[in-house]
Amino acid sequence: MANMSLKKNEMPTQEPLVRAHNFSEVALGYTEAMALEEAQRCLNCKNMPCVSACPVNIRIPKFIEKVKEGEFEEAYRIISETSTLPAVCGRVCPQERQCESKCVRGIKGEPVGIGRLERFVADWHNTYSSETPEVNVPNGHKIAIIGSGPAGLTCAGDLAKKGYSVSVFEALHEAGGVLVYGIPEFRLPKAIVKKEVDTLKAMGVDIQTNVVIGKTLTVDELFEMGYEAVFVASGAGLPSFMGIKGESLNGVYSANEFLTRSNLMKAYKDSSATPVMKGGRVAVVGGGNVAMDSARTALRLGADEVHIVYRRSMNEIPARAEEVEHAKEEGVIFDVLTNPVEILGYSNPEDKRDPKNGFVRGMTCVRMELGEPDERGRRSPVKIEGSEFLLEVDTVIMAIGTTPNPLIKMTTEGLEVNARGGIIVNENGETSRKGIFAGGDAVTGAATVISAMGAGKIAASAIDEYISDREKNPEKL
């Protein structure tokens, strides 16, 4: 008998005022009993709208059915047929805009907690299962993947399952891309990312860290080394700044730098040799998930006060609802309809050696109002004349987006990019160069983990087709 409760089973979380001071995971996950109860809310409907709303088409009702039966390992197997990173997606996917947005139960009441169930299943597997992943018979073809973020890892997983010998080249010293340098520990524990990466290694995927494609090796050299196809999943590295005065003062960070210092370089731990500005008053400029991650990280590093400064209103804020909610509960202050115009620094004309010289002392902001909707229907913010005010802060974090890293474009002849630097691809992830595929933020600019995974999947099947085609028609070589 289906559970007809209109509300999802709540997922336990750490108390807001406790978690605001530690880096342990915020959400604690369902217990077995909670998972069984939530699974009963799924009606197992025929047309499965949730599946088509999932970028990697996880067979959602099927895995939930197995949860109902208490067959958690079998549920995991169904998820991993299509998803390479179940424990990651269960945590960071915006389910409310994807699978759960199409759930029939959501028409009247709340949708099934698909994300929470996915997370439960993945965590159960990681805790209890000793099953090792299948290692497939090698098919003799070598594929190179550039970048070990969600797009690269997904593509690697899918190709390895098909028997390809896959090498993943990572520029940093650790695999995971944005999952390790960008998303904080309290939202996605690094041990989970490591586990997913280890699973891929166990499947035979070769991961080479400290190799910057475009510098250490070029894409063309990869072909010379015998790789038959290359998937570019190098992410959207380059941080954007606003172009206002004062952005080079000490204490102004890009979100990438701030989060990399804390996440990848572990600046939040005493044992880390990497410093980061801690304490004081912090302003984070932007309203996306990265802005929420930065604000909540600043809080945990010991900030006295953290402001989100966003130029539109709460209705337009692009971050996931859950992240905004968590940030508010933890005490982050939302200054919406507010835009920075200048960052102010200390400058002591009496004493050139004053240690505060060159550091942030505040930020001048203006109030905004929403004007007429533009052609896309989005109301653009307009400055209210004479509304300037000073926000006293010591640290400013710019979380206003990134653009694709130019290193590969600069060193790969014939690889076409659009005006924003994104690699141009067709619906199969094929670029303007034969044998080179691309996906994820390197193509789209900053987007979500799951859309990058979707692109990784598409590329994997396109690469498989490309290689099979070449094998059948060797004259095409």
Partner 1 sequence: MYRIVNKAILNASVTLMDIEAPLVAKKAEAGQFVILRVDSEGERIPLTVAGFDREAGTVRIIFQVVGATTKKLNTKEVGDSLCDFVGPLGKKTETEGIKKVCIVGGGVGCAIALPVAQKFAALGADVTSIIGFRSRELLILEEDFAKASNKLSVMTDDGSYGRQGNVCLPLSEMLEAGERFDEVIAIGPLVMMKFVVEAVRPYGIPCTVSMNPIMIDGTGMCGGCRLTLNRDGKRVTEFACVSGPDFNGYEVDFDEAMLRSGAYRDFERHAYEDTCNLFSKEVK
The residue range among 183-191, 273-281, 315-323, 443-451 that interacts with partner 1, by the rule CB under 8 A, is: 273-281
Minimum CB separation from partner 1 for residue 245, in Å?
Answer: 9
| Subset of residues 212 to 251 that bind partner 1, contact rule: CB under 8 A | 212, 215-217, 237-239, 241, 243, 247-251
CB of 259 to partner 1, least distance (A): 9
Q: How far is the CB of 241 from partner 1 (least distance, A)?
A: 6
CB of 238 to partner 1, least distance (A): 5
| Gap between the Cα atoms of 168 and 392, Å rounded | 45
Cβ pair 129, 76 in contact under 8 A: yes
- Residue 203 has a CB neighbour count (10 Å cut-off) of 19
Q: Hey, which residues between 167 and 186 contact partner 1 (CB under 8 A)?
A: 171-173, 181
The stretch near partner 1 (CB under 8 A) out of 13-21, 104-112, 268-276, 413-421 is 268-276
Least distance between partner 1 and beta carbon 115 (Å): 28
CB of 256 to partner 1, least distance (A): 5
Q: Is 380 strand, coil or helix? A: strand
Q: What is the 3-state secondary structure (H, E, C) of 432-475?
A: CCCCEEECCHHHHCCCCHHHHHHHHHHHHHHHHHHHHHHHHCHH
Of the pair 240, 451, the CB lying nearest partner 1 is at 240
Please report, in angstroms and rounded to a whole number, the separation of the first and last CA atoms in the chain. Answer: 59
Residue 124 exposed, middle or buried by CB count within 10 Å (0-12, 13-18, 19+): buried
Q: Give residue for tokens 């952005």.
A: 247
Nearest approach, Cβ of 261 to partner 1 (angstroms)? 7
Nearest to 405 by CA among 392, 425, 388, 420: 420
Is 63 a binder of partner 1 (CB under 8 A)? no
Nearer to partner 1 by Cβ, of 21 and 173: the residue is 173
Query: Binding segment for partner 1 among 38-46, 98-106, 134-142, 354-362 (CB under 8 A)?
Result: 354-362
Q: Which of 5, 13, 14, 357 binds partner 1 (CB under 8 A)?
A: 357
**305-310: strand order across its sheet:** 252-254, 395-398, 281-285, 305-310, 333-336
Asked if 260 touches partner 1 (CB under 8 A), the answer is yes
408 exposure class (CB count in 10 Å sphere: 0-12, 13-18, 19+):
buried
The DSSP output letter for 288 is S
Residue placing its CB nearer to partner 1 in the complex, 161 or 356: 356
Q: Measured on CA atoms in the order 118, 110, 379, 319, is the torsion positive or negative?
A: negative
Options 47, 127, 130, 271; binder of partner 1; rule CB under 8 A: 271
Separation in Å, CA 43 to CA 107, 109, 418: 13, 14, 44
| Residue of 83, 148, 254, 294 interacting with partner 1 (CB under 8 A) | 254
**Does residue 348 belong to the site contacting partner 1 (CB under 8 A)?**
no
Residue 275 binding partner 1, by CB under 8 A: yes
Ranges within 122-161 binding partner 1 (CB under 8 A): none
The residues, any chain, with a CB within 8 Å of residue 88's CB and separated by 6 or more, are: 150, 179, 188, 192, 193, 196, 449
Is 210 among the residues that bind partner 1 (CB under 8 A)? Answer: yes
Which one, 102 or 261, has the nearer CB to partner 1? 261
Residue at 418: amino acid letter: N
Q: Which residues in the 380-409 window bind partner 1 by CB under 8 A? A: 405-407
Nearest approach in angstroms of CB 381 to partner 1 is 24
* Neighbouring C-alpha atoms within 13 Å toward the C-beta of 405: 20
Q: Which residue from 22, 31, 129, 274 is in contact with partner 1, where contact means CB under 8 A? A: 274
Q: Which is nearer to partner 1, 269 or 434 (CB)?
A: 269
State whether the Cα torsion 56-263-172-241 is positive or negative. Answer: positive
Query: Out of 355, 377, 386, 474, which residue is the one contacting partner 1 (CB under 8 A)?
Result: 355
Shortest Cβ 398–partner 1 spacing (Å): 8
Q: Taking a C-beta distance cutoff of 8 angstroms, is the pair 40, 3 a contact?
A: yes
- Number of residues counted as binding partner 1 (CB under 8 A): 40
Which residue in 110, 257, 342, 471 binds partner 1 (CB under 8 A)?
Answer: 257
- Give the residues lining the site for partner 1 (CB under 8 A): 171-173, 181, 209-212, 215-217, 237-239, 241, 243, 247-251, 253-254, 256-257, 260-261, 265-266, 271-275, 355, 357-358, 405-407
